[in-house]
Amino acid sequence: MKTEQILPILRVGAWVVYIGAIVRTVVVAVSFAVHIYEQAKGGSESGTLLASLLLMSLLMASMILYVELWQQVKDVLTNINLGTPFTMETARRLVGISYSLLGLWIIAFIGKNYLHYIQKRMPEVADLTTGYIADLGGGFDVNGILLLNAGIVYIIAQVFRRGVELQQENELTI
């Protein structure tokens, strides 16, 4: 298949994942609010409530960054022009995607370590939150793929930036 045929499919795919990420984030936010309300109503200790609140806040932050990431991917695929793909706008958006991936990895790293800490130090919170996080699809993903992808996308952004420079130099030559 040619790029002209693949690009619309990728655009639709990005929109689907973007909308799915928004729906998942809203569902988790509502579930999160209900979970915190039930804990507060049930008379949980303030330390338990605070630990649970912090863990769920980290999870929500990672989900919001995930939505932001897919919004940026959707925007790149929507605005790319195959006639002149090397634009500073595309390069800037690719750098933004790499920073979002890096931020997502950092939050996942902090969340995974905090969850491990809670499981060791506060088993009552771990029992409440571990099942909740498992229901959400595993919670924090810290296997290095996000970090690798951030580096790859950043390198591609630099290639795009260099492509813009070469394109501008080519336009100035006689």
Residue percentage of the chain with pLDDT more than 70: 86
pLDDT in tens, 33-56: 887 787 777 766 767 778 778 888
The arithmetic mean of pLDDT across residues 13-20, rounded, is: 95
Q: What's the confidence (pLDDT) of residue 174? A: 62
Q: Which amino acid would we find at residue 83?
A: G
Are 39 and 48 a contacting pair, CB within 8 Å?
A: yes
Number of Cβ atoms within 10 Å of the Cβ of 146? 21
CA dihedral 14, 133, 48, 33 (to 10 degrees): 50
- Enumerate the domain spans of the chain: 3-172
pLDDT in tens, 157-174: 999 999 888 888 887 776
pTM over 0.85: no
